[in-house]
Amino acid sequence: MFYYLNGKITVLDAGLAVVDCAGVGYACHCSSYTQSQLRLGEEHRLYTHVNVKEDAFDIYGFSGREELRLFEALTGVTGVGPASALAILSVLSPDQLTLAIMTGDEKSITRAKGVGAKSAKRIILELKDKIGGTLDFSAGPEGAPAPAAYADGSRVALATAALAELGYSQSEAASALKGADAEHMSVEELVRYGLRAMVMK
């Protein structure tokens, strides 16, 4: 329906942003993460997902395409609706959510209001094998191209991205993962290997 809305932000409220496009105000449901990227009275682009029902026409807006893709992936998980997906994206940035899924971190996901342990396990189970190949979590807020080191979606690249999210530089992460048996280790095992290597330095 709409790929994105581009205009001035005229209203910022709890979970809501209104974008003025040529004099028409579009109300978009937003995560706290997206709202943190917006400024009242300034021009912004929101990538959108439109949910049409018999009694509703809801627009969900996101500051970057990677967050939109995560939202759509989350709502594709059994039992996870738009409200729960927004709640998750309000407590975890796209990079943090990707890291939580890749490393099986249920606790971080259950920080979201209304998301229990069963739902967190289901999210991890259903998205863990898909997230590296289909979700561009290393792109910037405006959908900037991913760094070359992350672009191939390999296990080493994903582990490097995960370590970078934890505050390590790309060179530190690469050094820590040197010598790891990437062919036979999962992303989670590679991240743990890298963290152990950091600690032993």
Question: Which residue type is seen at 106?
Answer: E
Res 142: pLDDT: 42
Left if phi > 0, otherwise alpha if psi is -120 to 50, otherwise beta: which for 150?
A: alpha
Domain interval for residue 56 = 4-62
Q: What digits encode the pLDDT tens for the residues 110-158?
A: 999 999 999 999 999 999 877 754 334 344 444 444 333 333 347 788 8
The average confidence (pLDDT) of the chain is 84
Has residue 127 been placed in a domain? yes
* Nearest alpha carbon to residue 91 among 107, 77, 73, 69: 107
Number of domains in the chain: 3
In a shared domain, residues 192 and 173: yes
Q: Are strands 24-29 and 56-62 parallel, antiparallel or unpaired?
A: parallel
Residue 143 lies in a domain: no
Residues 162, 187, 119, 79, CA torsion sign: positive
* Residues 152, 154, 159, 160, CA torsion sign: negative
Q: Give tens-digit pLDDT for 16-50.
A: 999 999 999 999 999 999 999 999 999 999 999 99
The CATH number given to whatever domain includes residue 125 is 1.10.150.20
Residue ending a domain, choose from 18, 39, 62: 62
CATH code of the domain containing 44: 2.40.50.140
